[in-house]
Amino acid sequence: MRRFLPVLLLAAAVPSQAATYLVESRHTQGVVRWDHLGFAFPTAQFARVEGVLVFDPAAPAKASVKVKIPLAAMTSGVPDLDEDLRSDSFFDLAKFPEATFTSRTVEARGHGGYRVGGDLVVHGVTRNVVLEATLNKIGTNPRNGVPSIGFEATTRLKRSDFGLGRFVPQVGDEVEIHVTLQGEEAKPFAAYLRRQAADAANDADRKQYETAAAEAEAIAAKAATD
């Protein structure tokens, strides 16, 4: 059971008032793709994304987004490359263990599309980037009965802008990023986690559910007063 912390805010189009969603880490991930010498286009995947989604279809321009990405969870499937990416030759996880994105603008583009501009912090460097986001679905999750939401988002950026330009130009400077995100509405999700805690088979699982539920309740309570 993963912890559901910091904050992801994104707007799209459905309920008649704002709802607060926690990022569901098990079904949220990103893929980074780059050009390797023109011969291949390898990828690395990042997971365990933490965040919160606040969604108000009536006022998308007021929406904002913030996510936290633990870079230790990023993997290319190639152990030697993963070790290199974590070293001070690239991301330097000892100094910069996570990346964050904080939006500054959200623009509705029609047909469930949104343009989200904001600050991406990677390797201690902050740059403005633009995400093209699309609402996948909003409705009740049939697996747990919790109101849920899902988005796709894409962007392109230059790794050299973040001090990660090793091997440029032999290895492409521009990288493509694709994110798929699922969110669970905070208050009902907290109630679901409390039920899971009550039915847990052992104390360790029960404690994990209770911790996650308390965090969800705190975020829901904060949203109610904002």
Of 131, 181, 179, the residue nearest 157 (C-alpha): 131
- How many domains in the chain? 1
Query: Are 194 and 215 a contacting pair, CB within 8 Å?
Result: no
pTM of the predicted model as reported, rounded to 2 decimal places: 0.85
Residue 106 lies in a domain: yes
**What distance in Å separates the CA atoms of residue 160 and residue 199, rounded to the nearest whole number?**
50
Residue 199 lies in a domain: no
Per-residue pLDDT of the chain (226 residues; tens, 9 = 90+): 444 434 433 333 334 478 888 999 999 999 999 999 999 999 999 999 999 888 777 787 777 778 999 999 999 999 999 999 999 999 999 999 999 998 888 899 999 999 999 999 999 999 999 999 999 999 999 999 999 999 999 999 999 999 999 989 989 999 999 999 999 999 999 999 999 999 999 999 999 999 999 999 998 888 877 7
CATH number at 98 reads: 2.40.128.110
Residue 28 lies in a domain: yes
3-state SS record for 117-185 = EEEEEECCEEEEEEEEEEEEEEEECCCCCCEEEEEEEEEEEEHHHHCCCCCCCCEEEEEEEEEEEEEEE
Residue 127 lies in a domain: yes
Residue 13 lies in a domain: no
Residue 176 lies in a domain: yes
Residue 102 lies in a domain: yes
Residue 205 lies in a domain: no
Which residue segment(s) compose the domain that 70 sits in?
19-185
